[in-house]
């Protein structure tokens, strides 16, 4: 039996979208391949509110995160971490020999504009990474006030991880001044895992030209130049299957209407938060609670694995806490094509199973 997924990726993918993955192959150096990528770009530019070049990478989101920090850091990167995925970005820098410092917030708290200002004012950094939506803690950073600070430092390349939020909430890339905005297919965009997406500014391209060792597969400059020279094609063979499905799913997202989609996500978030506060507690500072997933503090000391096993018998699955938070929290994702009615059914089932 298929279990309905309420985990923060991969998400359930509707059958019509899944079927597009089975589209017969085309050559990746054909005009059809160029047209496909160009169409996808145009649609993603709407979802991401940007005029920057869109690039696809056949990898999960982590590939482009590693590529960004490696390709565009000339001096030193300031990596802001509010949880597991921020920590991972720091590890990516260090393991690639990129000079970097990590600025951590207490888990459950956001990155503050003051922290960013203090770090960048030292003049040591020419690249900054921010997690928009931290999937371990359920925090959505105050990205507008953070970007207001980053704007004061025009030499700094602004990289933003929107892996678990793009397509689920409004992120205006150009208005925020994001240079490299990264996401992947298996979260709010509602597709199978396996493709990463970014927008990239001209400023980032100029920065990459000054970096001698950018790696190869995730060299953002090489990808960019290939797209320019070969009319939207890639240095290596991309997952055309994902591209067929992505092109189709983006039509569906735009048909729903971005505003409607964002409202739907927020309504689900509000519902789960209210439930969590009544029955357990929120892990995240509520002022910064995520619109796409909720991390719930396990105040009743339930066995999350036990609950999940019982939920599984009814055809549902939620997520345990991430890393150190494994038993201390559990997570309910409300992203992609999930509807408020699905959430209501899930939560009343949890109430019943736990006798709440």
Ligand X SMILES: *Cc1c(COP(=O)(O)O)cnc(C)c1O
The answer to whether residue 87 forms part of the interface with ligand X (CB under 6 A) is no
Angle at 254 between CA 253 and CA 256, to 5 degrees: 65
Stretch that binds ligand X, among 59-67, 229-237, 269-277, 339-347 (CB under 6 A): 59-67
Stretch that binds ligand X, among 38-46, 145-153, 158-166, 284-292 (CB under 6 A): 158-166
Query: CB-wise, 11 or 33, nearer to ligand X?
Result: 11
Q: 100: which residues sit within 8 A by CB, 6+ positions away? A: 69, 73, 76, 77, 78, 79, 90, 93, 94
3-state secondary structure 225-242: HHHHHCCCCCCCCCCHHH
4 pairs with which residues across the strands?
A: 316
Stretch that binds ligand X, among 58-66, 108-116, 270-278, 342-350 (CB under 6 A): 58-66
Q: Which of 158, 138, 139, 136 is nearest to 149 (CA)?
A: 158
Query: CB-wise, 5 or 33, nearer to ligand X?
Result: 5
How many Å apart are CA 178 and CA 8, to the nearest integer? 24
Stretch that binds ligand X, among 97-105, 160-168, 215-223, 314-322 (CB under 6 A): 160-168
Bind-site residues:
331
Among 37, 41, 60, 294, binds ligand X (CB under 6 A): 60
Query: CB-wise, 53 or 62, nearer to ligand X?
Result: 62
How many Å apart are CA 124 and CA 197, to the nearest integer? 29
Q: Within a 10 A sphere around the Cβ of 141, how many other Cβ atoms? A: 27
Q: Is residue 243 exposed (0-12), middle (13-18) or buried (19+ Cβ within 10 Å)? A: buried
Residues 309-328 that bind ligand X (CB under 6 A): none
The answer to whether residue 66 forms part of the interface with ligand X (CB under 6 A) is no
Q: 24: which residues sit within 8 A by CB, 6+ positions away? A: none
Query: CB-wise, 157 or 189, nearer to ligand X?
Result: 189
Among 5, 47, 55, 61, binds ligand X (CB under 6 A): 61
Q: Using alpha carbons only, how large is the chain's radius of gyration in Å?
A: 20
How many Å apart are CA 27 and CA 318, to the nearest integer? 39
Query: CB-wise, 36 or 198, nearer to ligand X?
Result: 198
144 in Cβ contact with 176 (< 8 Å): yes
The answer to whether residue 62 forms part of the interface with ligand X (CB under 6 A) is yes
The answer to whether residue 37 forms part of the interface with ligand X (CB under 6 A) is no
320 in Cβ contact with 330 (< 8 Å): yes
The answer to whether residue 163 forms part of the interface with ligand X (CB under 6 A) is yes
The answer to whether residue 153 forms part of the interface with ligand X (CB under 6 A) is no
Query: CB-wise, 134 or 219, nearer to ligand X?
Result: 134
Nearest distance from C-beta of residue 354 to ligand X, angstroms: 27
Query: CB-wise, 34 or 109, nearer to ligand X?
Result: 109
Stretch that binds ligand X, among 112-120, 131-139, 145-153, 295-303 (CB under 6 A): 131-139
Bind-site residues for substrate:
331
Tell me the number of residues near ligand X by CB under 6 A: 13
Query: CB-wise, 59 or 147, nearer to ligand X?
Result: 59
Among 50, 164, 249, 292, binds ligand X (CB under 6 A): 164
Stretch that binds ligand X, among 32-40, 161-169, 208-216, 305-313 (CB under 6 A): 161-169
Work out the widest C-alpha separation in the chain, in whole angstroms.
Answer: 62
Nearest distance from C-beta of residue 62 to ligand X, angstroms: 3
**Strand extents, DSSP E, 191-338:** 196-200, 281-282, 293-297, 316-317, 319-320, 329-333
Residues 167-186 that bind ligand X (CB under 6 A): 184
- φ/ψ of 126, rounded to 5, equals -125, 10
- φ/ψ of 335, rounded to 5, equals -135, 170
Which residues of this protein are in contact with ligand X, per CB under 6 A?
9, 60-62, 85, 131, 133-135, 161, 163-164, 184
């Amino acid at each position: 039996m298929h279990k309905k997924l309420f985990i923060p990726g991969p998400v359930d993918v509707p059958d019509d979208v899944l079927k597009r993955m089975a589209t017969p192959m085309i050559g990746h150096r054909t005009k059809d391949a160029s047209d496909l990528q160009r169409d996808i770009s145009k649609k993603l530019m709407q979802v991401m509110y940007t005029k920057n070049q869109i690039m696809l990478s056949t990898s999960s989101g982590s590939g482009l995160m590693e590529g960004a920090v490696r390709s565009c850091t000339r001096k030193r990167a300031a990596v802001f971490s509010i949880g597991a995925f921020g920590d991972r970005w720091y590890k990516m820098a260090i393991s690639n020999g990129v000079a970097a410092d990590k600025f951590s917030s207490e888990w459950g708290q956001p990155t503050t504009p003051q922290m960013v200002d203090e770090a960048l004012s030292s003049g040591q950094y020419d690249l900054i990474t921010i997690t928009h939506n931290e999937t371990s803690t359920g925090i959505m950073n105050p990205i507008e006030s953070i970007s207001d600070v980053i704007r004061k430092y025009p030499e700094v390349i602004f990289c933003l991880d929107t892996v678990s939020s793009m397509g689920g909430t409004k992120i205006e890339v150009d208005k925020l001044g994001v240079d490299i905005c990264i996401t992947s297919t298996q979260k709010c965009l509602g597709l199978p895992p396996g493709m990463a997406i970014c927008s990239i500014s001209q400023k980032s391209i100029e920065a990459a030209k000054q970096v001698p060792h950018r790696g190869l597969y995730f060299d953002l400059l090489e990808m960019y130049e290939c797209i320019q020279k070969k009319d939207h094609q890639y240095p290596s063979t991309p997952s055309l299957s994902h591209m067929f499905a992505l092109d189709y799913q983006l039509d569906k997202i735009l048909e729903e209407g971005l505003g409607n989609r964002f409202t739907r996500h927020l309504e689900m978030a509000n519902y789960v938060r209210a439930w969590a506060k009544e029955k357990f507690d929120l892990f995240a500072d509520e002022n910064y609670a995520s619109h796409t997933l909720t991390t719930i503090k396990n105040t009743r000391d339930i066995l999350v694995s036990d609950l999940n096993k019982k939920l599984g018998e009814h055809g549902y699955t939620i997520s345990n806490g991430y890393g150190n938070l494994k038993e201390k929290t559990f997570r309910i994702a409300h992203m992609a094509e999930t509807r408020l009615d699905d959430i209501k059914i899930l939560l009343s089932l949890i109430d019943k199973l736990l006798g709440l």
